[in-house]
Amino acid sequence: MALTLYNKKRNFKETSEPAGKVKGSESELIFVVQRHKASRLHYDFRLELDGVLKSWAVPKGPSMNPKDKRLAMMVEDHPYDYKDFAGTIPEGNYGAGIVEIWDSGTYADLANSPREIAEKNLRAGLKSGDFKFQLFGKKLKGEFVLVKLKGKEDNSWLLIKHHDKYAVDSEYNSEEHTKKDSPINKWLEANKKLGKKTAKSR
């Protein structure tokens, strides 16, 4: 049931995204952050829970600075296999554009409990709208919270870094933590040139 909406939105004859099956990791829980150039560039923040990836679209990307409160719109659950997806979603399809993996790793509850207890804590946090966890990524490390906004649209949350040894107090822009030759950056660079040409020829 959890992946019905995901499957409904996609035509698997056209997109190379994985079809939705409920299936989780066997040892540690995982997270992934995908950078996605669709109609707008955004980041997709995904945490494994109960055999799917709980997912939020973060327009400005995650931050390692606790002062930043990054809007995160909860979207439909994605299948566990989506963690490895990178590539192009063809035009005319849902989310058409380019997807690349920005960060990935394992994650846990704040106490770093054994899996079964961690999942219980994480499930409760998610349900309460005060969802605390810690990430063991290459870029994202340490404690974070997703706070559900009350009185706003049902799916609005804020992603906030907690103060810990990994937090930074300088400005943090996730766009500066991308590889210059990443597919999206190449696309942006080519489009910038194209934009200039068009402006000149006018």
DSSP string, 76-119: EEEEGGGGG--EEEPTTSTT-EEEEEEEEEEEE-TT---HHHHH
Determine the residue with CB nearest Mn ion: 36
Cα–Cα distance for residue pair 185/5, rounded to 1 Å: 30
When asked if residue 44 is in the footprint of Mn ion (CB under 5 A), the reply is yes
When asked if residue 36 is in the footprint of Mn ion (CB under 5 A), the reply is yes
Give the list of residues 6+ apart from residue 197 with CB closer than 8 angstroms, or none. none
**Least Å from the CB of residue 42 to Mn ion:** 6
Task: Spell out, one character per residue from 129 to 168, where the chain touches Mn ion: x when CB under 5 A holds, - when not.
Answer: ----------------------------------------
Query: Between residues 36 and 132, which has the closer beta carbon with respect to Mn ion?
Result: 36
Query: Between residues 39 and 201, which has the closer beta carbon with respect to Mn ion?
Result: 39
The tokens of 144 are what? 């974070």
Taking CB under 5 A as the binding criterion, the range among 31-39, 46-54, 121-129, 139-147 that sits at the site for Mn ion is 31-39
The label of the residue with tokens 């409760």 reads 124
When asked if residue 76 is in the footprint of Mn ion (CB under 5 A), the reply is no
- Contact predicate 16/90, CB 8 Å: no
Residues lying near Mn ion in the complex (CB under 5 A) are found at 36, 44
